[in-house]
A and B are shown apart, each in its own frame.
Chain A
Amino acid sequence: EVQLVQSGAEVKKPGESLKISCKGSGYSFTSYWIGWVRQMPGKGLEWMGIIYPGDSDTRYSPSFQGQVTISADKSISTAYLQWSSLKASDTAMYYCARQNYGDQLYAFDIWGQGTMVTVSS
């Protein structure tokens, strides 16, 4: 079964660092992009960025560039989203999702279950 399994919920204080993960299985991890999507409480979906684990090519939304870092470790089929200094406004559900690779972009066909990040003093 093709699936993306994300790490568990996190509760952090402002200023702390955090790295959440997304592990792919059931398919060739290095042949698909992995994207990250934010959903703040009661709000819509926001595309944050995407990485191609095959060569670590990474693209960011201008809204998130410099605010987060996306990385991947293809040896363990895992992508990451990290913050160096969290803010209360980072409180949200974060989803990873798979995108096919090719000479065009594709829709997200497989989604992780989401990781809830709560930042509160």
Chain B
Amino acid sequence: AIRITQSPSSLSASTGDRVTITCRASQGISSYLAWYQQKPGKAPKLLIYAASTLQSGVPSRFSGSGSGTDFTLTISCLQSEDFATYYCQQYYSYPVAFGQGTKVEIK
């Protein structure tokens, strides 16, 4: 099974900061990687799929990059509504796997 390692597990940032979260796959997954945002008490929400394609309605301050084994989610200018937990997911093959999550907290 393909394993996903996500880092950091948490980070503190201020509104307006640029934030970067990374995921590494244990083997090449081409661009079959998605990013989700989850707020407390809510279901996850798809932000980015195919490593860099923004889901409809997602603000352009979110961007994704990478292919193969190394991927990055960037929030260019953190807003108050962006404080949440973020997960990456590989969907290259079954069993699908999620990263461990990154909690973005207010500094």
Binding site for B on A (CB under 8 A): 35, 37, 44-47, 50, 59-63, 95, 97, 99, 104-109, 111-114
Q: Which residues of A have CB within 8 Å of B36? A: 45, 108
A105 touches B92 (CB 8 A): yes
Which chain B residues border A47 with CB–CB below 8 Å? 89, 95-98
Residues of B within 8 A of A50 (CB): 94, 96
A-B contact pairs, 15 of them (CB 8 A): A35-B96, A37-B44, A37-B98, A44-B98, A44-B99, A44-B100, A45-B36, A47-B96, A47-B98, A60-B95, A107-B34, A107-B50, A107-B91, A108-B46, A109-B49
A108 vs B44: C-alpha distance when bound (angstroms): 9
A62 contacts across to B, CB distance below 8 A: 1, 95
A117, chain B: closest CB distance, angstroms = 15
Interface size class of B (residues with CB under 8 A): 20 to 34
- List B residues at the A interface (Cβ < 8 Å): 1, 32, 34, 36, 38, 43-46, 49-50, 55, 87, 89, 91-101
Of B1, B87, B96, B98, the contact of A105 (CB 8 Å cutoff) = B96
Q: Which 5 A-B pairs rank lowest in CB-CB distance, beginning with the nearest?
A: A107-B34, A111-B43, A107-B49, A105-B91, A61-B95
